[in-house]
Structure 1
Amino acid sequence: MRWERSRVAFERAKRVIPGGVNSPARAFGAVGGHPIVIERGEGCRLYDIDGNSYIDYVLSWGPMILGHAHPAVVSALERAIHRGTSFGAPTELETQLAEVVCRLVPSVEKVRFVNSGTEATMSAIRLARAYTGRDKIVKFAGNYHGHVDCLLVAAGSSAATLGVPTSPGVTHAAAKDTLVLRYNDVGQLEDAFNQHGHEIAAVIVEPVAGNMGCVPADVAFLRKLRELTTAFGSLLIFDEVMTGFRVALGGAQSLLGILPDLTTLGKIIGGGLPVGAYGGRTEIMDHILPVGKVFQAGTLSGNPLAMAAGLATLQVLEQENPYPELEKRSQQLADGLLSLAARAGIPVQVQRCGSMLTLFFNSQPVRDWDTASQCDVKQFAQFFWAMLERGVYLPCSQYEAWFLSTVHSEREIDQTLEAAEAAFGQLRTRDS
């Protein structure tokens, strides 16, 4: 494939945008080269400005579960845009989407819409601190909750990809009340609560991590989290920005049967448009202004276009129930990748939850950031480019999840595995 127009466009972007991108995860910094510049998406495919076509497993980093430009979402947006794009005033769409979220997510009785996952986690933590009257927050290494100052400590995603686990500009004061623990480590969790339990306002956790690759939490670990937070009067926050409506209609919590006190959402509930949300029990949520005293506001919160796209997406998911088919296709892809890698003699792990998965170039299962960081990132970069050259668009980092949509058919899975067979063969040749 040729990417000359993308190269020129990227050089142009770098003159006016830091690094040429508006989010570092897009920069191809972990795989080398320059990013390709996208012209449009349709179904499960992307098309770049050089005229190349790709099977898309990034899906805007998760939200496009129905694929790009789904007719129901496009139709809902067309109706909404003719009524106006923003009012800074209540609309019925906000209430309709809130009713669906509260009905489908087991722990959510009330929900507040914001504009991003970062804003959702920032607001949930402020609410938890106000509700408990405490300051300390617990997070886990490799879990990424957006670029909130107090959480940008040992973060995954682009921060891990670029080798910057903590960011310049985050002050000691902002980070001093954040305890960073090892994911899936029950013993370390118990020690932290025994030492600081009555100071901890909340624990925030991805029930299925997606920003150090797909790493599901052990059920025993999450149950201990629920037990300890309840015993010490702390709040448990599930960050389901990625997993909400992705791994199941009710999110990871509906699969696990473990209910958090607060849940953060995003991605799919905007149907591809910028949105975030946080919700939980009424007694907690009613501490937010204008009912309570916890300040949080946003002119574009509940934007009618995002509400329309999100509502259309959730309605399709609820009516069509594509999750069994997504499970089948995802398992087919995971099994195929493992078989092809084994045949090529390349040690890998494929970890999956629902329609999100990661191919780890690692000889051992990935349970936490320590094991994730032992992956062969150079081998991943070679695999990435070999797949891209064969028309398969993967996340440009070892430490990101792949996603499938309802329009990834058996044909696309077969084409992906054909490309992977050639890519693994290319890696084997280089290693020999």
Structure 2
Amino acid sequence: MQLIHFTFAALLLAMSLHAHAEVMDNLCIDNPNSDKSCSEEFSMGSNGQSEGYAGNQPGQKSVGSSEQCVVVKGVAPSKDVSKAFARKMAIRDALQQASLKNNVVVQTDQSVESYQLKLDSTRFTSTSKVKSFTVLKEGFEDSENKYGETKKGALNYEVTMNVCLTEERGVCTNLPGNHYQTRLAIAPIVFPHAYQANDVSNLLHGYQQELERRVRNQGYKNYTLLNQVVDIQPNVQVAPNLNPDVIASVRDKTGAQYLLMTVIRSMSSHAESGMKNDVKRFYNLEVQPNSRFIEADWYIVDLMRNEIVHQARGGFDVEGDVNVGRDRPFGSNAFFATNTGKVFHALLEQQVTDTIDYLHCKSFKSEIIDVRDNEYIIYLNANSGAKVGDDLAVYHKVGRPVRFNGAVLGTDLVPGAFLKIKRIMPRFAVAELTAKKGLVQVGDIVKAW
């Protein structure tokens, strides 16, 4: 048994044939690691072959020592599928083959009993990423085999490509297709010990607003605020509610793929022992707190898979004048000028940076929410970076959801079609079919590849 893990960063290729040739549907593949769109990098060669993605020509290597270009062939069956669908699957196969041409780690596991091989397993892992590629040659395979005999059945579609690999930092290692920003919903803040913050006004709403502002300032555009009441049960540990009905409701309201949830675990303040405070206590005078411990947990929930995919904790101690005062509401300049405000500034920066670092390179996933007159409505908006003309892959859900001990483990998915975006509305996108091998319907999963 062989398990092949590969990474590549590109989706679909734009080409248009001469008027008398057979038209191939919407074959534009944007490279997420390039600043230019495929329409800018793509041109038709004089020999009629596709020349996409400004990369190196065969046999050439880039100036950077971390980049290597290889020529590979991808093959895909054409039986019961359109020519366009077979071509796109062949491109996928070629990119997979290319990633195994450079910096591959091979792990083998063998077991022998009584002079007989009982286990022989090999695993290939590549750390190279596809930076650019060029289609050199494509078409159906030769109809005759090497013996001159006519092949039976549908011919495979073959694509020969020049693929440039890189190991540069910042290039996504596991991002297939267009590099979209996944939509993030920022949930209301939960604080089970509100009495610890009697000296701070506008804490929960202000914290959520600060998260939004700092996410935006760090260049993340595809986000929304989730505004709904959060009920807290006394003496119960606060944790994300993964009830399927709750998750589905959040997904329907926001169209988000991920949900950021924050719990402030502590804002406790104390009056530490010291000569000054001891004297005040002796004379029964008011002793002001001079230390505070602030701690928060945050969780990222995958709304498509209904599970927590990331969680972290941040906390700081602060000493001195830790009392804020109700006249300096959370989020104001006056608040952040206080000792407590400075700690919250550091905590917010830590949380936002950690969240965006996690979401970086996460692949886009959505679903078809409606079908109207051969047009398909996708839960996707322009803030993700999607553009008219982008291609997306559709995956069919096969069979019933898999369950074990009452828990839903998920649904098997198989690639079944490709869509091209025709229009982008504020909260959804309209697409049309370019290739398919089955029925595309509401609920099918849509990915960048």
Give the structure-2-normalised TM-score: 0.24
Give the structure-1-normalised TM-score: 0.25
Task: Decide which structure has the larger Cα Rg and report it.
Answer: 2
Task: Judging by fraction of residues, say which structure has more helix.
Answer: 1
Give the structure, 1 or 2, with the largest relative contact order (CA under 8 Å, sep 6 or more).
Answer: 1
